[in-house]
């Protein structure tokens, strides 16, 4: 099989596809949205299969082209794909994208691409998902702009191009003015109460401002108010009211004030006649007399769920306190009332605080942590031998309690940080997050003390200072003392240059569950890590966002922002970020077994839905040598996790050039691992697939007749530059390049053979000939003169097509 024949076949097939091209296929849609004050969007939805058909191609091919264009990375050095999506401006097609994403435009009212400027009125972005057969144009507003104009109707047109083919999208985007809302009746006695709902939440007494979410179903509330769910979701924060408090007498007043004023704080009211406190908490300015606050209000029109967060003023609530707040959803003179009951219950760990003087000290250890001053809550890990400690305490590891000293000088379990941990003053006394806090110590997970994470209060530490605390693991009448010192030191500069020596690609799937670690993981054996970079203690790094990299000069970072260390909260494109709205996902690297380094993923609350996916690059680094393994990770949120059993996995090198290059490979072992009786059966079906840029595998291909092709980023794509086939006798890989190969050349690709739920994965590094041969163990020409060997060092009597060694030198049989 000659490579030029294969290329001609591929070229002929591509030309045939382009032979009969319609001038334009047209799609139309109308979407509606109320004027608003945020960047929320509505989607004009289409089926990707229908779009692909209109463009005279198949869905997989179109999706691959869209992915290559949409996810193009300038830093890769690969050739930039041609633009595919355009704003139609008269006869001109505009591709100067002005939102944060390819295919997105901020537009003026006459559809000019004006960017995020004073002229901008509305925006458009695209999204697509081949697995969900989904292609959409998403529209949103410049906040408040259209509300002032009383709404508008826009009819922009867009073009999706694939080769010489075009699909036109004519959209009618209707921005409806908010109905003129009636004046709000603020006198409670004059309100018409049209419905009620009630919810009860239980909380422990708190010594910090932490909050917990409270949700209640208010189905039918909008209709009873005379509006619809969509409108209620838009006007919610302007429709929520509480009874106000007379600030002089602290009594309830029969008039309303916005529930979102003053941070949502409330105070208990007094009985005017007796002066006794009443269980109702009404709206009041923030002060140390407040009981709790209610904020982060949201109404989900699809599920009829009203949600908010409730948090306490530290130390003001005690076990047994039972309060309630009536929240009024008001529209004109109608109100739907939701009663929130807040009950304070006993922390099961409370009131179990023995005195150290009366206890037995079972053991102790001194721990010193050094950190540079941080601007976030990144941490360092303390590893504890909990089995040994539990043995000294005479208990099971799960029966220990983590305690510290409070401001009364007593042992306490009044946690002020995550997972039963504590914020501490510089001198080691429990405090709340805030001005007095210096550092925190908290378990990596609840009731598991094998790892404690230590971090700083940003802005409260300085180089040369130390924070110090005595903390305790307690069981019964015994305790184990942890003498912890946090030293703030100057950053260390490293002169070691990081060099990636290998790339590993992984896909992690997870259900649409926020703040839940994925059960599927990316796993790489420590033995393989050691072989590649020379250490069994690699350090996990991520990429800094561009602005930080430009400012500091640091492309890579180990400034962990995830509570579970080592780990990062991440931007959509996989750059290290702090926890918050700009971080829809995160990862952590777990030393969960003695054999593997494991990476798990997590989804931020309020971000991502089934069908969304995120990608990022991470690095396992040997800090002494600078060698690192690049981890290309795709995190997919799915409705259903499809289990695929990996029955075999290996990593190989193959040479590639403009000429056909053939290297022996034992495909029989692949067939056997997949349960096939013969190697021929492995190629009877389209079982071979290539890994795409989005982290999923392509459709199956005929590896002998057509093969797989990959682009410069190592992603599978039809008609890409670098081809991978199998010889027709099923004994060799055949590689070729449609482009010149300039040494040194290296592209890492992944393919698999998949039958049902069984998968055999082969990771292939494509190298220029010189680099490839340099990696082959040398064969002693003196002792083996005149003999011919294959690249595995096996003697060959009659070489067929392929690469061989003779007298220590390479030659090719074609």
**Residues 779-804: tens digit of each pLDDT:** 333 334 456 666 555 566 656 656 66
pLDDT of residue 18: 36
Residue 575: DSSP 8-state: B
Per-residue confidence (pLDDT) for residue 594, from 0 to 100: 66
* pLDDT for residue 543 is more than 80: yes
Q: Residue 779's pLDDT is what? A: 34
Ramachandran angles phi, psi of 68, nearest 5°:
-60, -40
Alpha-carbon dihedral of residues 295, 300, 306, 311, nearest 10 degrees? -30
* DSSP state for residue 114 in the 8-state scheme: -
The distance from CA 750 to its chain's CA centroid, rounded to whole angstroms, is: 23
In this prediction, residues 214-233 reach a mean pLDDT of 95
Residues facing residue 629 across a β-bridge: 502, 620
* Between 386 and 149, residue with greater pLDDT: 386
- Tell me what pLDDT residue 148 has: 78
Q: Which residue has the tokens 């949205």?
A: 33
**Close Cβ partners of 186 (under 8 Å, ≥ 6 residues apart):** 241, 255, 256, 257
**Length reported for the chain:** 814
Specify which of 141-155, 548-562, 607-621, 720-734 reaches the highest per-range mean pLDDT.
720-734
- Both structure tokens of 804: 């061989």
Q: List, in sequence order, the alpha helices (H) in 310-379.
A: none
Q: Which pair of structure tokens corresponds to residue 152? A: 């508008």
The rounded distance, in Å, linking the Cα atoms of 240 and 259 is 5
**pLDDT per position as a tens digit, 167-189:** 999 999 999 988 888 999 999 99
pLDDT 10s digits, 393-430: 999 998 999 999 987 788 888 888 999 999 999 999 99
CA proximity to 88, closest of 163, 170, 154, 21: 170
Q: Are strands 788-789 and 758-767 parallel, antiparallel or unpaired?
A: unpaired
Q: Which of 222, 358, 201, 373 is nearest to 292 (CA)?
A: 201
Residue-level pLDDT at 1 = 31
**Strand spans (E) along 526-674:** 539-543, 556-557, 567-570, 576-577, 585-590, 596-603, 613-621, 627-638, 645-655, 661-664
Nearest to 44 by CA among 25, 27, 29: 29
Q: How much is the pLDDT for 807? A: 57
> What six digits make up the tokens of 411?
């042992």
Q: And the tokens for 212?
A: 């917990």
* Cα–Cα distance measured from residue 533 to residue 543, given in angstroms and rounded to the nearest whole number: 19
* Distance separating alpha carbons of residues 58 and 640, to the nearest angstrom: 25
Residues contacting residue 297 through CB under 8 Å, at least 6 positions apart: 236, 237, 240, 259, 260, 306, 307, 308
Pairwise pLDDT comparison (3 vs 31), residue with the higher score:
31
Q: Please report the pLDDT score of residue 521 as a whole number.
A: 87
Structure tokens at 237: 């924060």
Q: Cα–chain-centroid distance for residue 297?
A: 24
Q: What token pair was written down for 298?
A: 């949201």
For the chain, percent helix, then strand, then coil, each to nearest 5? Answer: 15, 45, 45
- 526-556 as b/e: b if 16+ CB within 10 A: bebbeebbebeebebbbbbbeebeeeeeeeb
pLDDT score, position 551:
66
Q: Output the pLDDT for position 771.
A: 87
Please compute the mean of the pLDDT values over residues 503-520 and round it to a whole number.
85
φ and ψ at residue 149, rounded to 5 degrees: -85, -5
Q: Please tell me the distance from the alpha carbon of residue 549 to that of residue 546, in angstroms, as a whole number.
A: 5
What pLDDT is attached to residue 791? 56
CA-to-CA distance for 296 and 393, rounded, in angstroms? 44
Task: Print the SS3 string covering 713-729.
Answer: CCCECCCCCEEEEECCC
Cα Rg of the chain (Å, integer): 32
Cα–Cα distance for residue pair 709/61, rounded to 1 Å: 12
Question: What is the DSSP secondary-structure string of 534-553?
Answer: S-SS-EEEEEPPHHHHHHH-
Rounded to two decimals, the pTM is: 0.42
Q: Is the pLDDT of residue 258 over 90?
A: yes
Could you tell me the pLDDT band of residue 496, with boundaries at 50, 70 and 90? confident
Q: What is the dihedral of CA 460, 586, 592, 507, to 10 degrees?
A: -160
- Give the residue carrying structure tokens 């240059």: 497
Select from 94, 103, 159, 99 the least CA-distant residue to 128. Answer: 103
- What lies within 8 Å, CB to CB, of 676 at 6+ separation is 682, 755
CA-nearest of 307, 306, 256 to 282 is 256
DSSP letter at 783 equals T
Q: Residue 273 — pLDDT band, cuts 50, 70, 90?
A: confident
């Amino acid at each position: 099989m000659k490579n030029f024949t294969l290329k001609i076949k591929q070229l002929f097939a591509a030309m045939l596809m382009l032979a009969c091209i319609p001038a334009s296929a047209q799609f139309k849609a109308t979407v509606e949205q109320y004027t608003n004050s945020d960047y929320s969007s509505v989607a004009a939805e289409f089926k990707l299969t229908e779009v692909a058909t209109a463009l005279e191609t198949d869905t997989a091919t179109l999706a691959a082209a869209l992915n290559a264009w949409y996810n193009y990375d300038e830093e890769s050095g690969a050739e930039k794909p041609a633009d595919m999506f355009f704003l139609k401006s008269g006869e001109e097609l505009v591709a100067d994208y002005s939102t944060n994403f390819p295919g997105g435009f901020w537009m003026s009212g006459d559809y000019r691409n004006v960017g995020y400027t004073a002229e901008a009125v509305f925006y458009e972005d695209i999204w697509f998902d081949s697995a969900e057969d989904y292609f959409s144009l998403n529209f949103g507003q410049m906040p408040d702009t259209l509300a002032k104009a009383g709404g508008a109707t826009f009819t922009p047109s867009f073009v999706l191009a694939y080769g010489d083919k075009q699909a036109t999208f004519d959209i009618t985007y209707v921005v409806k003015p908010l109905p003129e809302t009636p004046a709000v009746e603020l006198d409670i006695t004059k309100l018409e109460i049209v419905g009620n709902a009630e919810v009860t939440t239980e909380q422990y007494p708190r010594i910090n401002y932490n909050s917990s979410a409270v949700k209640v179903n208010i189905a039918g509330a909008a209709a009873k108010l005379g509006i619809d769910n969509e409108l209620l979701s838009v006007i919610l924060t302007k429709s929520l009211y509480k009874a106000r408090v007379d600030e002089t007498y602290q009594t309830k007043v029969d008039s309303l004030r916005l529930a979102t004023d003053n941070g949502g704080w409330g105070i208990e009211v007094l009985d005017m006649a007796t002066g006794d406190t009443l269980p109702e908490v009404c709206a009041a300015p923030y002060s140390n007399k407040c009981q709790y606050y209610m904020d982060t209000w949201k109404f989900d029109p699809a599920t009829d769920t009203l949600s908010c967060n409730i948090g306490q003023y530290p130390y003001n609530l005690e076990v047994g306190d039972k309060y309630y707040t009536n929240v009024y959803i008001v529209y004109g003179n109608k109100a739907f009332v939701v009663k929130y009951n807040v009950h304070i219950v006993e922390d099961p760990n409370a009131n179990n605080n023995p005195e150290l003087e009366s206890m037995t000290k079972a053991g102790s250890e001194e721990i010193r942590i050094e950190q540079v001053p941080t601007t976030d809550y990144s941490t360092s890990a303390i590893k504890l031998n909990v089995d040994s400690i539990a043995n000294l305490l005479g208990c099971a590891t799960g029966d220990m309690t983590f305690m510290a000293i409070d401001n009364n000088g007593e042992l306490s379990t009044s946690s002020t940080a995550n997972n039963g941990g504590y914020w501490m003053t510089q001198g080691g006394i429990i405090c709340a997050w805030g001005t007095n806090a210096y550092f925190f110590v908290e378990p990596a997970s609840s009731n598991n003390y094998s790892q404690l994470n230590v971090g700083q209060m940003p802005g409260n530490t300085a180089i040369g200072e130390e924070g110090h605390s005595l903390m305790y693991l307690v069981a019964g009448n015994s305790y184990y003392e942890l003498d912890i010192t946090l030293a703030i030191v100057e950053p260390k500069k490293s002169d070691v240059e990081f060099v990636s020596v290998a790339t590993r690609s992984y896909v992690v799937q997870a259900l649409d569950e926020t703040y839940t670690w994925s059960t599927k993981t990316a796993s790489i054996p420590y033995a393989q890590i050691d072989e590649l970079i020379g250490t069994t203690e690699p350090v996990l790094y991520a990429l800094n966002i561009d602005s930080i990299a430009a400012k500091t000069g640091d492309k890579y970072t180990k400034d962990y922002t995830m509570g579970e260390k080592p780990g990062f909260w991440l931007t959509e494109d996989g750059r290290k970020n702090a926890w918050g709205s700009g971080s829809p996902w995160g990862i952590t690297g777990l030393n969960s077994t003695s054999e593997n380094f494991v990476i798990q993923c997590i989804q931020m609350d309020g971000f991502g839905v089934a069908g969304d996916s995120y990608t990022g690059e991470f690095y396992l680094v040997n800090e002494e040598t600078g060698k690192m393994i690049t981890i290309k990770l795709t995190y997919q949120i799915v409705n259903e996790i499809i289990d695929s059993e990996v029955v075999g996995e290996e990593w190989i090198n193959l040479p590639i050039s403009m000429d056909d290059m053939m290297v022996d490979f034992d495909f029989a072992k692949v067939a056997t691992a997949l349960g096939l009786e013969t190697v021929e059966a492995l190629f009877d079906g389209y079982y071979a697939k290539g890994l795409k840029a989005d982290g999923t595998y392509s459709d199956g291909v005929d590896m002998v007749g057509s093969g797989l092709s990959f682009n410069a980023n190592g992603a599978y794509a039809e008609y890409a530059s670098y081809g991978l086939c199998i010889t027709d006798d099923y004994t060799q890989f055949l590689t070729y390049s449609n482009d010149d190969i300039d040494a040194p050349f290296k592209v890492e690709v992944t393919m698999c053979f998949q039958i049902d739920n069984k998968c055999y994965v082969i990771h292939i590094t494509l190298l220029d000939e010189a680099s490839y041969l340099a990696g082959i163990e040398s064969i002693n020409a003196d002792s083996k003169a005149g003999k011919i060997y294959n690249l595995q060092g096996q003697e060959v009597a009659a070489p067929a097509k392929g690469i061989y060694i003779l007298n220590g030198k390479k030659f090719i049989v074609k």
